[in-house]
Amino acid sequence: MNILGTLATTPYLSRVLGADGIGAFSYAEAIASYFVLVAILGTGTYAPREISYVQDDKEKRSRVFFEVLLFRFITTALMLMIYIICMRNKVLLSIMSINILAVAFDVSWFFQGIEAFEKIVTRNIVFKILYLLFVFLFIKSPGDLLKYTLGSAILNIAGNVSLWSYLPAYITGQKITEIRAFRNLKVILSLLVPTIAIQIYTIFDKTMLGLFTETDFENGYYEQAMKIIRVVQVVVTALSAVMAPRIGYYFSKSRQDKVREYMLKAFRFVWLISIPLAFGIMGISDNLVPWFMGTGYDKVIILLKILPILTVIIGISQITGIQYLIPTNRQNILTKSVVIGATVNFCINLILIPKLYSVGAAIASVIAEIVITGIQLWYVRKELDVREAMISGKNYLLAGIVMIIVLRLENLKFTVSVTHTMLMIFSGSLCYFGMLLIMKDEFFINNIWEIVDRVKRYRRDKTND
């Protein structure tokens, strides 16, 4: 739904709000995001990890739930007051305060920790459909920017509130005297630094673009390119959301063998999925952007030659960082890597953004993410077979190279159109997966057979019913 929602609304909003409107929204969202990050204060990674450790004990997980909830209420209230005081008389920024308030009512971390992902998925589907209806029914002109901002924020907080109806089945009441919101403040604060630094590429980049450029257009180009990157990253980063609680569970049971097994499978999965997504976007961007976003977005084509690299690199760093270091209480290594990466990002931004604008921000993000991933792999090299994990991607890299060559050749012959873009996507996919079959890639073929077996079992069960 995230993918379909973005694909459906991006072309429409690009034309209706324009690059400057999108840029203004993006800049305001970036400012509010700083306050959101502080309101969350590291609990975004701490909370699901702690819940995963005690997911089999209803009493313990209930205590953790109420402690995190109270903690978030306090930090949200503080950030909301500061934000309102600072942003009064600024309408667009004031509306964004709703997104800060939404932090207090977000309990998705609890359902992630107990691995009840169906609750989160159901919520996401319902509210993504409501978002689509809202955009197409009520956003009609550039003057609807404030309406779009308000509607998006209200749907955000409503989606968070909707999950509360599931809570009574999973938690029990706790005595107020036993709830200590600041019990693990030191641990939570230790997770704040990497949480903030991880977000720096989408937030700080946009802030610096707003400061260094005289118009909102560069931010609009960057935002639209990042929307497409976030679409393809959804598939890759979803793995971390699902795997992190499972790794934490096995770690709490001292099952290091299962931890290593799942980690190596995760690396193979990221290689298999991220390379065709990244190389595919690079290959079709010239044909896609003109009809998908409309006129005035030519610079997005350049950005989509650079930013897709993040899909592969972030996929790998998510495995080592979010799926391994945090569930195994090694957040100090994660902190070190992302602080260094954030510093690299900031320094390169200072040099490149004044000269290259959004292109400079894109280059800085890619370099910084490579630094982060490299540091994390160095630290875990004695615990995980990093060499095997990297070598396991050779088939996918080769197949991706062949695919992008084919796409570039097709781009020379095809005209810009929806039909030709769809043909390129089809031929690129056929080329990539065809190469994996020719190379007899074991991981890919085994998963294909597993899917086939599941379909057969499903049909058999339906027939028996």
pLDDT at site 395? 92
pLDDT value at position 227? Answer: 81
Could you read off the pLDDT tens digit of each residue along the chain, which spans 465 residues?
Answer: 777 777 788 888 888 888 788 878 888 888 888 898 888 887 887 888 888 888 888 888 888 889 888 999 999 999 999 998 888 778 888 899 999 999 999 999 898 888 888 888 888 889 989 999 999 999 998 889 999 999 999 999 999 999 999 998 888 887 777 788 787 777 777 777 666 666 665 567 777 777 777 666 777 788 788 888 888 887 777 766 677 677 777 777 777 777 777 788 888 888 998 999 999 999 999 999 888 887 778 888 999 999 999 889 988 888 887 777 877 777 788 888 888 888 888 899 889 988 888 899 899 989 988 998 999 899 888 777 788 888 888 999 999 999 999 999 999 889 989 899 999 999 999 999 999 999 998 888 888 888 888 888 877 776 776
Distance CA 252, CA 366 (A): 34
How buried is 89 (Cβ within 10 angstroms: 0-12 exposed, 13-18 middle, 19+ buried)? exposed
Phi then psi for residue 174, to 5 deg, are -125, 150
So what's the pLDDT on residue 244? 67
Cβ-contact 19, 227 below 8 angstroms: no
pLDDT recorded at residue 200: 60
Kindly give the interhelix angle for 309-320 and 358-379, rounded to the nearest 10 degrees.
Answer: 30
For residue 248, which amino acid is it? G
Instruction: Quote the pLDDT of residue 459.
Output: 78
**Which pLDDT score, from 0 to 100, does residue 182 have?**
81
Q: How far apart are CA 375 and CA 98, in angstroms?
A: 37
Contacts of 453 (CB under 8 A, 6+ apart): none
- Rounded to 5 degrees, what angle do the CA atoms 451, 455, 456 make? 115
Q: Among 33, 71, 160, which Cα is nearest to 108's?
A: 160
pLDDT recorded at residue 240: 64
Residues comprising the chain, all counted: 465
> Residue 159: its pLDDT value, please?
92
Q: What tokens appear for 343 in the block? A: 């510093």
Return the pLDDT at 155. 94
- pLDDT, residue 434, reads 93
**Dihedral sign from CA coordinates of 272, 274, 278, 280:** positive
> Is the entire prediction scored with pTM above 0.85?
no
Q: How many CB atoms lie within 10 A of CB 414?
A: 17
The pLDDT of residue 278: 92
